[in-house]
A and B are shown apart, each in its own frame.
Chain A
Amino acid sequence: MDKFAGLSAALASGELWQIIALSLTVSLSATAAAAILGLPLGVALAIWHFPGRHFLILAANALLGLPPAVVGLALYLLLSGSGPLGFLGLLFTPGAMVLAQAVLALPIVTALAHRAAEDLWAGYGDALMDLGANKLRAVPALIAMGRLSMLTAVLAGFGRTVSEVGAILVVGGNIAGYTRTMTTAIVLETSKGDLPLALGLGLVLIGLTVMISAAAFGLAGRSSA
């Protein structure tokens, strides 16, 4: 157990709790942003037929594999003091990290929500319209009907945000006590050669992710029963 002395010391110091809190705050905020934009967008793409629709669907699916390092770099150049959005002062802050992760999660939530809504709209769209709903009202109705699929879409987005390190390392800077998250701390401890601590942090992160997913499905399951 001696090998994990670093982890218990980190737990006792309170530093780890702060890192965990920031990780969850950033990733959950980014996921919430991606869900608020991505779920309605994905459903809308299934309901409305407008010019450019196919392009948007294609884009959402293509960007499922958006490289975090590229998103980080692009946002870095935008948010840098000498960049066009430098006046916001967001670079190397938690706000920049939320933005980067929301960009990464948005295509995932949108593409998966669209896939679920497409089937639902094909099956129940006419019935919904017969009941007097208009297309705008059908959006929340479809989200509610497919809530387990929608939840999977949101959790897939959350999985992307909580595990990624490439983007937040670039735009957050891994500043101790300010922008250091679980994933950037794991990279840091690995680079210090403290592999047991890095591995311990990794296990804590996996445990947290599993707990959040289980809690989300538990809640959704209860409300559908």
Chain B
Amino acid sequence: MRRIRRWLFALLAALVTLPGANAADAPTNTIRLATTTSLDNSGLLGAILPIFTKETSIEVHVLAQGTGQALDTARRGDADLVLVHDPEAEEQFIAEGHATARRQIAWNDFVIVGPGADPAHIAGGHDAVAALTKIAEAKVPFVSRGDRSGTHALELRLWKAAGIDPKNGSGNWYRDIGGGMGQALNTAAAMPAYTLSDRGTWLSFKNKGPLAVLVEGDPRLINRYDVIVLNPDKHPGPRLAAAHRLAEWLISPEGQKAIGDYRVEGEQLFHPSAASPR
């Protein structure tokens, strides 16, 4: 029995001494950022965070989740700051006392993409609500994220504005996939179907298949990204100071320039807007 106990002890010891396994002991210069898939999958964070790390020696661990999930992660105290894009969910997060303020760092826009054949005849339009109405009337496949992400929240607001309950088309033309933006685009490309996408993910997405941008330029399709640092009264922790430095850097002239400089195939994906929020 003694040998078994020794084995067990060695096992436990190995588990907690695994490289960096114990985050409680991790130096306070490693912070955890919960964010949306659009900022990470588009390559933006991979491009700008190394600049910040080089300057401050603060390492950033990025958790790419939907906005709803990212805010929940922070609510549980499992992230030090969030970078998300759902104004209503953010307001609620602040109202609950998890944070005291948010700062806009950048914006771009959402687009409605769909098959080039365009069975609902929405191409070239600039009215997102009218386009969704046509899709619902034609009963042609529409892929919904269904994951409480910022994009999903906007989609639901647009349906509401159109006076349509898309759940009525559930199982028929309304396909709620409960997945990330990339999964929604992969699904839409294969069906093919219409879907709502943020422009950053769309531009950097590599499996567009028959899909093309059909509707853009509606003011309701603006997409704002905000950085939120947690309220130290509610989430005290040794890493909040470092998290603050990242938030400050993102809205500083240097961080803003790094965001504006990021391009995919020559196209700018995010417009810095800390100085003049949209």
Cβ-based interface call for A195 (8 A)? yes
**Smallest CB gap from B16: residue in A:** A95
27 contacts between A and B (CB under 8 A): A37-B8, A80-B76, A80-B77, A82-B76, A82-B77, A83-B76, A87-B24, A91-B23, A92-B23, A92-B32, A93-B20, A93-B23, A94-B18, A95-B18, A95-B21, A95-B22, A96-B21, A173-B61, A178-B61, A188-B41, A190-B183, A191-B41, A191-B182, A192-B41, A192-B205, A192-B206, A193-B206
Interface size on B, residues (CB 8 A): 39
Which residue of A37, A81, A89 is within 8 Å of B25 (Cβ)?
A89
Judging by beta carbons under 8 Å apart, are A191 and B180 in contact? yes
Instruction: Name which of A25, A81, A90, A188 has the most chain B CB atoms within 10 A of its CB.
Output: A81
- In the complex, whether A194 has a CB less than 8 A from a CB of chain B is yes
Question: B182 to A190, Cβ gap below 8 A?
Answer: yes
A189, chain B: closest CB distance, angstroms? 9
Is B19 in the interface zone, CB < 8 Å from A? yes
Across the two chains, which residue of chain A brings its CB closest to B49? A176
List B contacts of A64 (CB < 8 A): none
A74 at the interface (CB under 8 A from B): no
Instruction: Tell me whether B41 and A89 are in contact (CB under 8 A).
Output: no
A81/B77 in contact, CB under 8 A: yes
Task: Identify which of B4, B181, B189 gathers the most chain A CB atoms within 10 Å of its CB.
Answer: B4
Give the CA-CA distance A91 to B24 in the complex, in Å: 10
Partner of B206, one of A80, A87, A194: A194
Chain B residues lying within 8 Å of A96, measured Cβ to Cβ, are 21
Let me know if B186 and A190 touch, CB within 8 A: yes
Cα distance, A98 to B21, chains bound together (Å)? 10
Residues of B within 8 A of A (CB): 4, 7-8, 11, 14-16, 18-26, 32, 37, 41, 46, 61-64, 76-78, 180-183, 185-186, 189, 204-208
Any chain B CB within 8 A of the CB of A211?
Answer: no
Nearest chain-A residue to B7 (Cβ)? A36
Contact B182 A175 (CB under 8 A): no
Judging by beta carbons under 8 Å apart, are A175 and B207 in contact? no
A86 and B61 within 8 A (CB): no
Chain B: minimal CB distance from A200 (Å): 13
Q: Is the CB of A98 within 8 A of B186?
A: no
B93 to chain A, nearest CB (A): 15
Assembled-state Cα–Cα distance A166/B177 (Å):
17
Q: Is the CB of A98 within 8 A of B25?
A: no
Extra contacts, 8 of them, besides A81-B77, A176-B62 (Cβ < 8 A), are A89-B25, A89-B26, A90-B21, A90-B22, A96-B21, A191-B181, A191-B183, A194-B207
